[in-house]
Amino acid sequence: MIHDILPHKLFNDFKTCGPKPTDYLIRYASGKTLLKACKATEKKDSATGTKDDAYNIPRVGELLALEDKKLADFEGHYLFCIDDTAFFLDDSNASRMDQTPPPPAGYEYMVSRTFRNMSPVERLGGATAAHIAHWESQNKFCGMCGHPMTRGEKERSVVCPKCGNVVYPRISPVVIVAVRNGDKLLMAHNIDNPNPRLFLISGFVEIGESLEQAVHREVLEEAGVKVKNVRYFGSQPWPFSDSLIAGFTAELDGDDTIHMQEAELSEATWVRREDIPEYETDVSISCCLIENFRRGFTLD
Burial of 50 (0-12, 13-18, 19+ CB in 10 A): exposed
Of residues 28, 11, 16, the one with CA closest to residue 152: 16
Domain ranges of the chain: 10-138, 139-169, 172-294
3-state SS class at 35: strand
Is it true that domain 172-294 has CATH number 3.90.79.10? yes
Of residues 92, 106, 114, the one with CA closest to residue 27: 92
| Phi, psi torsion values for 55, nearest 5 degrees | -130, 155
SS3 content of the chain, % helix, strand, coil (to 5): 20, 35, 45
Per residue of the chain (300 residues), give pLDDT as tens. Answer: 999 999 999 999 999 999 999 999 999 998 999 999 986 544 444 443 434 458 999 999 999 999 999 999 999 999 999 999 999 999 987 666 566 778 889 999 999 999 998 999 999 999 999 999 999 999 999 999 999 999 999 999 999 999 999 999 999 999 999 999 999 999 999 998 888 999 999 999 999 999 999 999 999 999 999 999 999 999 999 999 999 999 999 999 999 999 999 999 999 999 999 999 999 999 999 999 999 999 987 654
Cα–Cα dist 79/86, whole Å: 7
